[in-house]
Amino acid sequence: MEEELSNPDIWDVPSKALEKQKKLSFLLSKVKETEEIEKEIGEIKEIYSEVKVDASLEEEIKSNIENIKKRLKKEGFKVLLSGKFDRKDAIIEISSGAGGRDAEDFVSMLFRMYRRYGERKGFQSKMLSCSYGESGGPEGRVGIKNVSLEVKGDYAFGYLKKESGTHRLVRKSPFSSSSTRHTSFAQVEVFPIIDNNESQIKINEDELKIDTFRSSGPGGQHVNKRESAIRITHLPTGIVVSVQSERLQGENKRAAMKILRAKLENIEEKKKEQEIEKAKEKGDGASWGTQIRNYILHPYKMVKDLRTQTTTSNVENILDGDLDLLKDDFFQ
């Protein structure tokens, strides 16, 4: 591959050359990672040979072995992520369901959870669009009706794809004066970001309805006084995508097309897997589809993944983005 990329002729088709260069960089990173692990194992062997002479090195060896185990587990986890789009960047879309303002508040909690998870993984995240709920909640809390988050990083989609489904929150509502428990729902959808040259999806301009509107934040404050936000409706499927993160209309349109392509690609993949489902399903949380996780904050604290039956009482860490407390078991 290095020899091919050194040939000037390959750059006659820049898209293919860049894709090959990206693949080469990935392979070189794997080689470097393997060499580093092999080097560390060699150093442990050297220290081990000296243990009989110096028993104080025993703790250092144990510590080094644990570090190697963690790195091997991390690399082994990536081996399991062998899906077609697992190495791609991802788009997370979170929508409020049954539960009123509590559901909108729940979306805010999940939005923060995924951003924190991305930070823990070294991913870069960016909000693409957001539809806020009513203001005036306790402590000035403003919920979110719908939000789209772009997550960039190696294996971002592979790590996040199993988050798709219905999430359920049970707690004492901060929006109610009574002390009764309240149940609310949120829907999470995760899509891979597909490069145009990789996608088999053809989008015709005459199948799109494109509207512009003003970007706005909580309380109606305008992020941009010009109509730079974009809303694209794909007429054949009814999929609606809106983006307001950029100040320029053209950039928002490109981002919206990227999300639309990802959603259409996702539908095609599900068809191939004979798991056809509607691109958007309306209704309350109970009718959306697969419920994957419960977050219980009252009368006790517990998070339960309904697919693996994995449970933890460490709710604060989960909501702070430590999803590996549940994910390790899922992929093993």
Q: Does residue 319 contact residue 295 with C-beta atoms inside 8 Å?
A: yes
CATH of the domain at 231: 3.30.70.1660
Q: Say how many CA atoms lie within 13 Å of 122 toward its Cβ.
A: 3
Query: Are residue 159 and residue 177 in the same domain, yes or no?
Result: yes
Query: Are residue 46 and residue 142 in the same domain, yes or no?
Result: no
Domain boundary among 33, 52, 80: 80
Q: What is the dihedral of CA 219, 225, 226, 228, to 10 degrees?
A: -40
Per-residue pLDDT of the chain (332 residues; tens, 9 = 90+): 888 888 888 888 887 888 888 888 878 888 888 898 899 888 888 877 766 656 677 777 888 888 888 888 777 777 777 777 888 899 999 999 988 889 999 999 999 999 999 999 999 999 988 888 877 666 667 789 999 999 999 889 989 988 999 999 999 988 887 767 899 999 999 999 887 666 677 888 888 998 887 766 654 444 445 567 888 999 988 898 888 877 778 888 888 888 888 888 888 777 765 544 444 444 444 345 588 999 999 889 999 998 888 899 999 999 999 998 776 544 44
Q: Say how many CA atoms lie within 13 Å of 326 toward its Cβ.
A: 29
Query: Are residue 206 and residue 243 in the same domain, yes or no?
Result: yes
Domain membership of residue 85 (yes or no) is no
- Whole-model pTM: value is 0.71
Query: Are residue 58 and residue 95 in the same domain, yes or no?
Result: no
Query: Are residue 147 and residue 213 in the same domain, yes or no?
Result: yes
Domain membership of residue 303 (yes or no) is yes
Query: Are residue 58 and residue 200 in the same domain, yes or no?
Result: no
Query: Are residue 217 and residue 271 in the same domain, yes or no?
Result: yes
Could you read off the pLDDT of 129-145 as tens digits, one per residue? 888 887 766 666 778 99
The helix, strand and coil proportions of the chain, stated in percent and rounded to the nearest 5, come to: 45, 25, 30
Phi, psi of 314 (to 5 degrees): -85, 65
Sign of CA pseudo-dihedral 77, 78, 82, 88: positive
Q: Per the omega criterion (within 30 degrees of 0), is the bond before 14 cis?
A: no
Query: Are residue 235 and residue 318 in the same domain, yes or no?
Result: yes
Rg, the chain, Cα only: 23
DSSP 219-263: GG-EEEEEEEEEEEEETTTTEEEEE-SSSSHHHHHHHHHHHHHHH
Domain boundary among 26, 56, 80: 80
Q: What residues contact residue 18 under an 8 Å CB cut-off, 6+ apart?
A: none
Cα–Cα distance, 88 to 277 (Å, whole number):
22
Domain membership of residue 286 (yes or no) is yes
Find the domain containing 56 and state its range: 2-80
Query: Are residue 132 and residue 16 in the same domain, yes or no?
Result: no
Question: Domain count of the chain?
Answer: 2
Could you read off the pLDDT of 158-196 as tens digits, one per residue? 899 889 999 999 999 888 877 678 999 999 999 998 876
**What stretches of the chain adopt beta strand conformation (E)?**
90-96, 124-132, 144-152, 165-172, 181-192, 208-216, 222-234, 239-243, 291-296, 302-305, 310-312
